[in-house]
Amino acid sequence: MIVKNLYDDVIGTDADVDSAQWNSRRLLLASDGMGFSLHDTLIKAGEDLHLWYKNHLEAVYCIEGEGEIVEKKDGTVHPIREGTVYALNEHDQHILRANKGVQMRMVCVFNPPVTGREVHDEDGSYKLPE
């Protein structure tokens, strides 16, 4: 069994990946052998993220904050608030936006699992391990 605590075991370690737009605290990684990774991610207030997980499936569950997700294929806008989940089952190209002045806290699951310190490529994807 694997038992970890965000505050004791993740924040401030290699599994805590900070960037200009988000801070991803990676609770479970590929090395944990679960077949998915599990992240507690903060989307910084007022940020627009252009994302396209062409190599991964991702589900995202908002537990704090407010924002929206825009589907790039047709411009559909879905508001996000606490309790909203979205699943990128078609590797959907999208814009994730945290409202001005409001940070969003999201629980994210990636399949295949993220391995460690991935950050986005110029196209908004994470590379697969070689």
5, 19, 106 from 8: Cα distances, Å:
5, 21, 19
CB atoms within 10 A of CB 25: 21
Candidates 30, 34, 41, 70; binder of ligand 9YT (CB under 6 A) is 41
Candidates 24, 84, 93, 103; binder of ligand 9YT (CB under 6 A) is 24
60 binds ligand 9YT per the rule CB under 6 A: yes
- Assess whether the previous peptide bond of 112 is cis (omega < 30° from 0): yes
29 binds ligand 9YT per the rule CB under 6 A: no
42 binds ligand 9YT per the rule CB under 6 A: no
Backbone angles phi, psi at 41, to 5 degrees: -115, 135
Site for ligand 9YT in 63-82 (CB under 6 A): none
4: CB partners within 8 A, 6+ apart: 10, 27, 28
Residue 112 parent element (H or E): none
Candidates 15, 22, 36, 113; binder of ligand 9YT (CB under 6 A) is 22
| Closer by beta carbon to ligand 9YT, 48 or else 73 | 48
10 binds ligand 9YT per the rule CB under 6 A: no
What residues make contact with ligand 9YT under the rule CB under 6 A? Answer: 22, 24, 39, 41, 49, 51, 58, 60, 96, 106, 108
